[in-house]
Structure 1
Amino acid sequence: MVRLFRTPLGARTSVGFTSPDRLVATLGAEQPWIRLSEAALRSMAEPLGTSLLTTDPTFTAPAVAVAPTVATTLPEESPVAARIA
């Protein structure tokens, strides 16, 4: 499976690391990985429409977390509550 990333400007990119230590520093110790050549990574990403390859990125945003749903009740006099009823 190929995991694609986005650049700060939003372009899709495949990502390669030059050492396991650099991968762990960026993505964490639990990140699964395999060794690939640059050519192999590019050939896997190309059919997905990605020709850009980023090597050893040093910053990633944290994973998106789903916010818990909070149930609330609206006051009876609320205009929103009137539209829902």
Structure 2
Amino acid sequence: MCLFQYEDDPEPEEQVPAGPLYVPVRPGRAGVVVRLFRTPLGARTAVGFTSAERLTATLGAAQPWIRLSESALRAMAEPVGASVLTVDPTLTAPAVTATATGSATTPVPQAPETAARTA
């Protein structure tokens, strides 16, 4: 009988700090406010990106952002009910296309490719 021990392997549930994140913001009364989003199941989530390029690819070049640590983003989001942090999400809403009759059709959205982190 052979027993393997993997002492160096982290547990899958262990959270690894993401480092400084690029966090989407919107205008607010005192400057800017962190934008919150919803997961596919409707839970509120804070969102951070590991690079400005990933943020721009998902939300567009006009999206303003600030740099925050993961812990600072969590501290800001949790009091308003966003206990989930999603890192590097991809946009899952499909583009709306017009048909020959002029009506709009929307394809079925695909499953998101995200790395959600819970508190």
Name the CA distance, whole Å, in 2 between partners of 1:52 and 1:40.
13
Higher relative contact order (CA 8 A, sep 6+): 1
* Structure 1 residues 1-12: aligned runs within 5 Å: 1-12=33-44
Name the CA distance, whole Å, in 2 between partners of 1:2 and 1:30.
15
Q: Structure 2 unaligned runs (5+)?
A: 1-32, 95-119
- Normalising by structure 2, we get a TM-score of 0.50
Q: Secondary structure of 1:26's match?
A: helix
- Normalising by structure 1, we get a TM-score of 0.69
Q: Which structure shows the higher strand fraction?
A: 2
Q: Structure 1 unaligned runs (5+)?
A: 63-85
* Structure 1 residues 14-53: aligned runs within 5 Å: 14-53=46-85
Question: Greater Rg, structure 1 or structure 2?
Answer: 1
The count of corresponding residues between Structure 1 and Structure 2 is 62
CA RMSD across the alignment:
1.2
Q: Which structure shows the higher helix fraction?
A: 1
Q: Secondary structure of 1:22's match?
A: helix
